[in-house]
Chain A
Amino acid sequence: MKILVAEDDLLMLKMLEFRLKKDGHEIIVTNDGREAVGKLAEFQPDLVITDIMMPYLSGLEVVSAVKKMYPTGTPVIILSGMGQENVVLEAFQLGADDYITKPFSPNELSVRVRRFDASVVK
């Protein structure tokens, strides 16, 4: 599965990349929202994982852009911090498909990503 990961914490980004590559996915990473939106058309991901707080464009704006560009496909998983429930709700209203709250375990990430992988296989 082709996954676009947007996260401004570089260490976190590397860990996400490492884990998802280990799970056999093709990964493209970016550490700001504007670049993430820019890469959507070029990379055509099967899944987008985005943090909420990012420079230039927020995760919510990334969700909007994904849903505008791919209205019927490309699910989005939001990475949110504790206490960001309102933002997560807003993301769902914009079309986000799932969310993971930090702190999270890498295994949880794999399982959640696999759910969307299965839907692609179907």
Chain B
Amino acid sequence: MIRLQSQEIALVSIVIIMLGILFYMLLYMYFKTRHDGKHDKWRVITDELIHGAVFYDGEDDTAPMPSTETVNRLIGNEHFRALLTDAIVSAKKNMAGIASDNLKNLYIKLKLEKYALGSLKSRHWHVKAKAIQELTVMEIDEFVAQLYPFTNNKNELVRMEAQSALVQFNGFEGLRFLDIVTYPISDWQQIKLLQQLSQVPPVNIDLDAWLKSENSSVVVFALKLARNYHRFELHDEIFPCLDHEDSRVRLEAINFLSEIATDETSDQFISRFLGEEFKHQLAMIHAMQKIASEKDILFLLDLLNDENNEMKLSAARALAKMGHRGMSCLQEHVQSAGYPLNEMLLQIKGELAA
């Protein structure tokens, strides 16, 4: 009897659960259909608005600048606003010329920048980052001062967007955030900033302070700027970077000095060679393939006895590229040293002949 009651209870429970699931599914389908329908209607409105803006040229009556009356009524709706903003930003990324200007005008006419500025105060980092990106794409430069504090935000993505925004709006002048940034600037961000700067005419900015920054990544970036923009006058100021505690700074300094070497440069490398880590030693010898002179022959010959073949090959290349004297010293050494230097010499001769 008791057993039968338990079976009945179990059955009733299963039926109730199934009815519950069915009810939930129906409710979900109802709201989804309603949402999709509304979303589709909104999509038609935003598409028409953007089409109108893109193809408005101020003269052609067949493509008048769209009226924003309907949209103004909907703009208070957060979801509609997000849809519209995303569509305008996406179109702006793909358009140039008058079409791009019209999209910016539409964005301003709808006062969407007001909402983006509001999002800068959000507690959520992704909302802030998106707002900064939006203002940058839409070229709303009158608020650039408000973005400046975000260049040293604790969140990396917010920082990156703000730094890129400043450079986008102000070119080299936008780099003033390097004065205050205490967080590291990633390699990726440095590449991105250099790419942005390559789109604007070069300006001779003062790199001194950044070369002495306490933030190592700022020093590395300043070295990259010096290298990219051929700041030869900074040669002597780079030497202290060879003794920097951060190995990335030292490596970048070696790379930079190899590009703008003077007679003194190889001496500076040699005096620091023994205290350096292997990767940096190799970078120095690699640099000496371009800058070594006859006074460096003994040092390079000594490296031919190094245990590491990569070091041997690099030193041999530096000797061979030095000219007649370097090459004859190398050949003499190879005669007595034999394998593997004899093979390396053949390879180097092949490279030089090519």
**Smallest CB separation, A3 vs chain B (Å):** 17
Instruction: Assess A108 versus B97: contact at CB under 8 Å? Given A11-B91, A15-B91, A19-B55.
Output: yes
Instruction: For B50, give its contact among A11, A22, A103, A108 (CB under 8 Å).
Output: A11
Please classify the interface of chain B as helix (H, G, I), strand (E, B), loop, or mixed, using the class held by over half of its residues.
helix
In the docked arrangement, what's the CA distance between A103 and B63, Å? 21
Instruction: Indicate if the CB atoms of A103 and B87 lie closer than 8 Å.
Output: no
B95 at the interface (CB under 8 A from A): yes
Range of interface residues on chain A?
10 to 19
Chain B: how many interface residues by the 8 Å CB criterion?
Answer: 20
Residues of B within 8 A of A107 (CB): 97-98
Instruction: For A11, give its contact among B47, B62, B96, B195 (CB under 8 Å).
Output: B47
Instruction: Indicate if the CB atoms of A15 and B96 lie closer than 8 Å.
Output: no
Instruction: Assess A9 versus B90: contact at CB under 8 Å? Given A18-B51, A22-B55.
Output: yes
Instruction: For A103, give its contact among B47, B55, B62, B100 (CB under 8 Å).
Output: B100
A122 at the interface (CB under 8 A from B): no
Instruction: Indicate if the CB atoms of A14 and B47 lie closer than 8 Å.
Output: yes
In this complex, which of B47, B50, B96, B195 has the most chain A Cβ atoms within 10 angstroms of its Cβ? Answer: B96
The closest CB in chain B to the CB of A19 belongs to B55
**Smallest CB separation, A45 vs chain B (Å):** 22
Pick the 5 closest A-B CB pairs, nearest first.
A105-B97, A103-B96, A105-B96, A102-B94, A103-B95
23 A-B interface contacts by CB (under 8 A): A9-B90, A11-B91, A12-B91, A15-B54, A15-B91, A19-B55, A22-B63, A83-B195, A102-B93, A103-B92, A103-B94, A103-B100, A104-B94, A104-B96, A104-B97, A106-B54, A106-B55, A106-B95, A106-B97, A106-B99, A107-B97, A108-B96, A108-B97
Chain B residues within CB distance 8 Å of chain A: 47, 50-51, 54-55, 62-63, 87, 90-100, 195
